[in-house]
Amino acid sequence: MIGVFDSGIGGLTVVKALREQLPHHDIVYLGDTARTPYGSKSAATITRYSLNNTDFLQRQGARLIVIACNTASSYAFAAVRDHFDGPVFEVIGPGARLAMQRSRRFRIGVIGTRATVASGVYEQTIKVLQPGARVYATACPLLVPLVEEGWVRKPETAMIVRKYLHPLKMKQIDTLILGCTHYPVLRQVIQRKIGARVALVDSAEAVAGQVCACLGADGAMGHMGEGRGVLKIFVTDTAEQFRKTAQLILHQPVDIDQADL
Ligand code: DGL
């Protein structure tokens, strides 16, 4: 069973990509809605929450963990990897690598939470892969609550996206990393506002590709076996709004249980 967590709904974009690529694997998802957003919390708090989430998923039977949150990946990956007895995946490395494959001029924009942008982790990772790359990162703190509310097609959301992307447009980026797993939900409006010539890199899609490569029939972790494609979703707070947005992301009805961390 694959365990996936995020501060809220955003990690379901990773679940969607995982289910497309690994339809027979069972997945247990935890959205830590009681403590969202992580993007405005300290490194110590984000790490503590991430370890709680990992323990919960392990109790549900997870044998592999995907940190489907850029903020938690930025601050807590090493702690989760040291704590959990099994493979742990994060979203920054796969997103940065995919951006390097897609970019032609290596003028890279990154959008994420305040905490992810403050960590500088994308710049560091990209500079290792491509020392000459120019990286421009912008925090977009209002986008997570808009996604959690399901405000995907509202004109107010489009206005806010345009304002956040304006400085990156001025830098003439050719690739934009969606450095928060909530943002693929806003992919259409982001593409419209940044322009059709800018390649969007979805870190959710990128990490799913990496998990898939490791779990594939001949992959290094083929022994972890398949399941029946069951998806179990837990949240740490009320589920009603979460259910509506989850259905929007996954395009299927979902059952949601309460998690007791
Ligand atoms: N989805 C999370 C991420 O990828 C962030 C949401 C939050 O601020 O809690 O960074």
Task: Measure 43 CA to ligand 1 centroid, in angstroms.
Answer: 13
Per-residue pLDDT band for 218 (boundaries 50, 70, 90) equals: very low
- Is 180 annotated in the active site? yes
Task: Measure 197 CA to ligand 1 centroid, in angstroms.
Answer: 26
**Tens-place pLDDT, residues 142-158:** 999 999 888 999 999 99
Q: What is the pTM of this model?
A: 0.93
Task: Measure 222 CA to ligand 1 centroid, in angstroms.
Answer: 30
pLDDT > 70: percent of the chain: 96
Q: Give the position of tokens 């490569």.
A: 213
Top-level class of domain 92-202:
alpha beta
Distance CA(1)–CA(26), nearest Å, equals: 5
Closest residue to atom 9 of ligand 1, CA basis: 37
Residue 141 confidence (pLDDT) above 90: yes
Per DSSP bridges, beta strands 64-67 and 134-139 are: unpaired
Task: Measure 182 CA to ligand 1 centroid, in angstroms.
Answer: 7
**Per-residue pLDDT, 81:** 98
- Is 214 annotated in the active site? no
* 2-90+204-258 against 92-202: fold identical: yes
CATH of 2-90+204-258 given 3.40.50.620, 3.50.50.60, 3.50.7.10, 3.40.50.1860: 3.40.50.1860
| Ligand 1 pocket list (CB less than 6 A) | 6-8, 10, 36-39, 69-71, 113, 116, 144, 180-182
Residue 194 confidence (pLDDT) above 70: yes
Contact yes or no for 71/50 (Cβ under 8 A): no
| Lowest model confidence (mean pLDDT) among 71-75, 212-216, 228-232 | 212-216
**Per-residue pLDDT, 97:** 96
Using the atom order of ligand 1, give the atom closest to the CA of residue 203.
4
* Boundaries of every domain in the chain: 2-90+204-258, 92-202
Task: Choose which residue among 16, 74, 92, 113 to substitute to test ligand 1 binding: the one with the highest number of ligand atoms within 8 A of its C-beta.
Answer: 113
Task: Choose which residue among 32, 38, 66, 201 to substitute to test ligand 1 binding: the one with the highest number of ligand atoms within 8 A of its C-beta.
Answer: 38
**Per-residue pLDDT, 224:** 64
**Per-residue pLDDT, 216:** 67
Residue 237 confidence (pLDDT) above 90: yes
